[in-house]
Structure 1
Amino acid sequence: MNKLRFVFLFLILVCNPTFAGANEYEVVPYTGPERGMYEGGGADTTLSFSELPLSLQIVYISGLLGVSIVFYKFLPLFLGRIKRKCTNPNRDKILSYIVVNPGNTIADIEKDLGLNRSSIRHHVRMLHLYNKISIVKKCKFTLLFENSDNYTGIEQKIAFAMRNSTRKSILTSIVQNPGITNQEITETFDIDKSTVHWHISDMYNEELIDFDNDGKFKRYFLKPSIEKNVEKILIMSETEI
């Protein structure tokens, strides 16, 4: 810390005369009592850098050299401090978990990795700060994803649906049995009909599934445009830590 304070103090001392010397150097006539106020208004002329006094040229050049030397000498120190902040065993473990488990939460990490929740929150903030992960708010949940082009908006919705075991079973059943009805899902999984209806309605509103009317039944299908997305998230969810 003392080294850093010394660096900033040195920069201030060096840069002040440098920036002052970088301004235009104006030559104005002497206005003493015997001559009165000068009526010309403004400077007589503007000098180029080569026309400045040698002392000012030396100040300017030495300032630039000083700043360059400081950056050359201490840049590795700054980069080293950043690198140390980015690398941490628990942080790496959390990042690996997020990569393999898209759409997980801090509670999931705490349960599966056995880490302290306050520590997890700190590491999640740092990972987000360094653009390693993205954070998505969904209802009362805060979902964590690898910060890359790996997951589209629709895939984040699918990952959220997969968080609930009942909804995951229903969605998987629709994928494997296109045209399945609410009644068939109820009988297959022994779930209350109203519960099935609630999950299906929510997935329909999220544009994950669609349906066709068949008499008094509704037959449910996965939206064709997201079949590959669902398959990708299903594969990822089967390899959870």
Structure 2
Amino acid sequence: MWKVMLLFILVLSAAVGITSADTGGYTVGPCPPEEELKKLGDTVDMSGADRTLTFWEFPLSFKVAYILGYLAAFISLFKLAPIILGQIRSLSKNVTQKKIICYVLRKPGCTPSEISRNLKISLGSIRYQIKALKAEEELTLTKEGKFTRVFQNSNVFTNNDKTIISHLKGSTRKQILLNILENPEITNQEISEKLNLDKSTTHWHIKKLREDNIIFSEVEGKFTKYFVNPSVEPELLKWLKI
């Protein structure tokens, strides 16, 4: 379309220019070489413009070409607008995704809400981008109760790693795990007293840890004593240091 319009402008300009010359108008040409100007002497006025012409005083061909040029530029811009906007959206999307990936690398096991809060990006946008990154196999998600936790999709994290990291995200559960790790054979009551927790709260956290085989218990008389599962202790120590 734009090629046809350009051809039309050129043909129209040529036709109108010829008409102007034939009807006693003037012809615009290049300035002669300096040697020829010197020969002409004072017969050529080189003092500058005599006056400033308005747009409407220019030849018709110039005015038509000028107006059609603007129209062609406007139409081209209108057609290119969706492409330009698409590129801007794509760039914005890529920037957001890179921010999410970098955050997940620094804070494995984070939740979409945490990412949204710290990156100051709407939760809806974060969820959408996480879904896209999961589809591209950049991220993996795990469920822990009502929480969805986000991890980098790589061989860095074993299933035990993901489970331990998820439990360590809660400050209360992390303190309970630390107490069991540092004090094998500790009881529910002792944990509750040390951390100033209700026994029911301690029991609930311990139940979650036992369900995921992070800890195990032994009954001795009327007491139930808790221990860290030796098979996950190396991973637990690793992630406690971070």
TM range (shorter): 0.5 to 0.7
Structure 2 counterpart of 1:141, from 137, 143, 147: 147
SS of match in other structure, 2:231: helix
For the residues of structure 1 that align with 2:91 and 2:143, how far apart are their CA atoms?
26
Paired residue for 1:111?
A: 117
Tell me how far 1:166 sits from its aligned partner: 1.1
Runs of 4+ with >3 A deviation: 84-87
The offset of 1:86, in angstroms, is: 10
- Are 2:135 and 1:129 equivalent residues in the alignment? yes
* CA RMSD, Structure 1 to Structure 2 (Å): 2.1
- Matching residue's letter, 1:221: F
**CA shift for structure 1 position 110:** 1.4
Name the count of aligned residue pairs: 154
TM-score w.r.t. the length of structure 2 is 0.58
What is the deviation of 1:163? 2.4
Gaps of 5+ in 1: 1-80, 237-241
Q: Which has the higher contact order (CA 8 A, sep 6+)?
A: 1
Q: How does 1:1-241 map to 2 (within 5 A)?
A: 88-236=94-242
Could you say which residue in structure 2 is the equivalent of 1:31? Answer: none
In the alignment, the residues of structure 2 paired with residue 124 and residue 168 of structure 1 have an alpha-carbon distance, to the nearest angstrom, of: 26
Following TM superposition, by how much is the alpha carbon of 1:108 offset from its aligned partner in structure 2, in angstroms?
0.9
Using the aligned pairs only, state the percent identity: 37
In the TM superposition, what is the alpha-carbon distance from 1:140 to its structure 2 partner? 2.3
Cα 1:179–1:120 shift into 2, 3 Å: same
The equivalent residue for 1:48 is none
After TM superposition, give the deviation of residue 214 of structure 1 in Å: 2.4
Structure of greater Rg? 2
Residue deviations 1:59-96, cap 9 Å, x none? Answer: xxxxxxxxxxxxxxxxxxxxxx9xx7798333222112
Deviation at 1:124, TM superposition (A): 1.1
Q: CA deviation at 1:176?
A: 1.9
Measured after TM superposition, the shift of residue 109 of structure 1 is 0.7
CA distance in 1, matches of 2:91, 2:220: 59
Unaligned runs of 5+ in 2: 1-86
